[in-house]
């Protein structure tokens, strides 16, 4: 029997209909797009001038900007979704619009065209996460930005336009609706129950084990109770922490291992699937959100949302998070329903 599950943070209901995963088409993937030619990959060393000039690069002291030698490189997106400085547009009461003010950067994960977070050395992953923290701190005072949204689209079937591993940072001039929903839920829980809802979920899950995929000194990785899609995972710091820019070096080191480990489990379990990953953290809009608790959300792209999802804003998930967690934690062999 399919069931409706509610995410206690956002209030969203998800349909968990695991019977459907018995259909053999559920986890088959379309043929992969053709591999890109490295000679024309703007993220490869030697092609630095194919991107806008670099904003930041981790490179040996004294080496020239926009030349090879870097290990992580940050450049403005060539086709920004948010940018500043255009002539202002104005809408009408019926058709409101405004400039998409903000920033849009690309963080190139390494010089290696074929590497990904699952295959890079932990030190390199840590360096990337350090750059995240640096970019957060660099932009948080920008008055036109209210939220900094870090994402990874891995594999071109995930929405990535380039296969060379990279993150994107969107500086958004409003608090996105999904983050707003999480903040509202977390605030309500703090006020009415006197505790952080994410701390509470983490502690309940660690008592229960059934949806825990991994735990380390600093993090716990769970398949959330109301997972929207098969094998969705949340990476939560065990200690309460509102915003990602508060992470210390020890936390970053552990996080690098955790990200590499769980993304490696996707890679292993589903033959390097496309996935989306993003950070949820406090808005940088001048308000304090002490009841919020930053975390990463990871979602492999194994199924295709359709007219149900588009027309309702609800999700149908064909794999229970309990099965997903069993599989990804190694408690069971073989993908569920296959």
Active site residues: 166
Question: What residues from 296 to 315 belong to the interface with a copy of itself (CB under 8 A)?
Answer: 297, 299, 303-314
Continuous segment of H or E residues that includes residue 36: none
157: contact with a copy of itself by CB under 8 A:
yes
151: contact with a copy of itself by CB under 8 A:
yes
CB of 308 to a copy of itself, least distance (A): 6
Residues 180-199 as x/- pattern, contact with a copy of itself by CB under 8 A: -x------------------
CB–CB of 268/131 below 8 Å?
no
174: contact with a copy of itself by CB under 8 A:
yes
The only residue of 46, 177, 290, 330 in contact with a copy of itself, by rule CB under 8 A: 177
164 sits in the region (left: phi over 0; alpha: psi -120 to 50; else beta) called: beta
183 token code pair? 């903040």
118 token code pair? 């699952």
Residues 6-25 as x/- pattern, contact with a copy of itself by CB under 8 A: x-x---xx-xxx-xx-xx-x
Which CB atom, from 14 or from 57, has the smaller least distance to a copy of itself?
A: 14
Question: Which of 294, 296, 295, 289 minimizes the C-alpha distance to 187?
Answer: 289
Question: Which of 138, 140, 107, 141 minimizes the C-alpha distance to 124?
Answer: 107
Which CB atom, from 59 or from 139, has the smaller least distance to a copy of itself?
A: 139
CB of 145 to a copy of itself, least distance (A): 13
CB of 59 to a copy of itself, least distance (A): 27
173: contact with a copy of itself by CB under 8 A:
yes
Angle at 148 between CA 144 and CA 151, to 5 degrees: 140
The only residue of 62, 96, 194, 334 in contact with a copy of itself, by rule CB under 8 A: 96
DSSP label at 184? Answer: H
Alpha-carbon distances, residue 299 vs 119, 159, 263 (angstroms): 18, 13, 10
Question: Which of 298, 189, 202 minimizes the C-alpha distance to 241?
Answer: 202
109: contact with a copy of itself by CB under 8 A:
no
CB of 203 to a copy of itself, least distance (A): 10
98: contact with a copy of itself by CB under 8 A:
yes
61: contact with a copy of itself by CB under 8 A:
no
280: contact with a copy of itself by CB under 8 A:
yes
174 sits in the region (left: phi over 0; alpha: psi -120 to 50; else beta) called: beta
């Amino acid at each position: 029997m399919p069931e409706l599950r509610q995410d206690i943070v956002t209030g969203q209901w998800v349909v968990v209909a695991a019977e459907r995963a018995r259909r053999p088409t559920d986890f088959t993937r379309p043929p992969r797009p053709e591999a890109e030619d490295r000679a024309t990959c703007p993220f490869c060393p030697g092609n630095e001038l194919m991107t806008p000039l670099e904003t930041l690069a981790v490179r040996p002291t004294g080496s020239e900007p926009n030349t090879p030698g870097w290990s992580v490189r940050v450049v403005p997106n060539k086709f920004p979704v948010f940018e500043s400085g255009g002539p202002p547009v104005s809408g009408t009461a019926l058709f409101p619009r405004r400039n998409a003010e903000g920033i849009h950067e690309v963080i190139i994960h390494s010089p290696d065209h074929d590497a990904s977070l699952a295959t890079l050395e932990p030190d390199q992953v840590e360096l990337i996460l350090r750059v995240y923290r640096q970019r957060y701190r660099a932009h948080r005072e920008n008055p036109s930005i209210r939220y900094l949204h870090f994402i990874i689209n891995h594999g071109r079937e995930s929405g990535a336009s380039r296969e060379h591993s990279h993150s994107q940072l969107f500086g958004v001039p409003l608090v996105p609706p999904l983050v707003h929903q999480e903040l509202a839920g977390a605030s309500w829980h703090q006020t009415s129950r006197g505790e952080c809802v994410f701390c509470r979920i983490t502690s309940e899950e660690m008592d229960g084990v059934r949806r825990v995929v991994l735990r380390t000194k600093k993090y716990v990785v769970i398949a959330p109770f109301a997972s929207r899609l098969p094998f969705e995972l949340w990476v939560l710091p065990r200690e309460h922490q509102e915003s990602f820019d508060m992470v210390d070096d020890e936390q970053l080191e552990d996080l690098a291992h955790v990200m590499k480990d769980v993304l490696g489990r996707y890679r292993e379990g589903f033959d390097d699937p496309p996935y989306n990953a993003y950070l949820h953290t406090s808005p940088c809009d001048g308000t304090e959100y002490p009841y919020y608790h930053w975390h990463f959300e990871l979602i492999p792209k194994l199924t295709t949302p359709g007219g149900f999802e588009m027309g309702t804003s609800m999700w149908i998930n064909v794999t229970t998070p309990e099965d997903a967690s069993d599989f990804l934690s190694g408690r069971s062999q073989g993908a569920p329903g296959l």
